[in-house]
Amino acid sequence: MTKSQPSPKDQIDLIMAKRMLILTVIVFVGAVQAQTNFYTTVTNLWYQGNKSNVLEIANARLAQNTNDIAGLVLKAEFHFAHLDTAEISNAYSRVLAVGETVTSTNFVLRFSIEKQYILDILEDLKDDPITPEELLLDKPKAAIIHKPLPTGLIEALQKDNYFN
């Protein structure tokens, strides 16, 4: 007894079904990893120069919870990298205010280090505002790729299982 060959349409349907299954697995695994490896996801996006995607992630988190420290940190870093002078002070001030309320071990340790850095940035912006000439020269630097996310606060949150 010989097996009959599937028709070309059946072969295409089978291939499409396999592709859909693979795509479903990839999307599901990606969604799970995006939450459990949040730090890796956002640092890779940042490093690859996809800072606007990082801002979208931050805004999505903040849409769900206006005090989400991860969203606040990422938003502040985006505004600082892009020298959005109108946004930097407010964004970092929110990080300072909400950061003081976070009690997870790794975040508290890292925040105690980075808090002074943030305060220095705010003081520098107040004492020596960015001039239009400096803005014109430095703003394009935000588009440079292969620069790491400049804060360790997101990694500290990941270590504290904040994203699980």
Q: What is the pLDDT of residues 18-51, one digit of tens each?
A: 565 454 444 444 444 445 589 999 999 999 999 9
CB proximity list for 107: less than 8 A, separation 6 or greater: 69, 99, 153, 156, 157, 160, 162
pLDDT tens figures, 49-85: 999 999 999 999 999 999 999 999 999 999 999 999 8
> How many residues are given for the chain?
164
pLDDT at residue 28 in the model: 43
Task: List C-alpha distances in Å: 83 to 18, 64, 66, 145, 155.
Answer: 47, 26, 22, 16, 23
pLDDT at 16: 58
Q: What pLDDT does residue 24 have?
A: 46
pLDDT tens digits, 121-164: 999 999 999 899 988 888 888 888 998 999 999 999 999 999 98
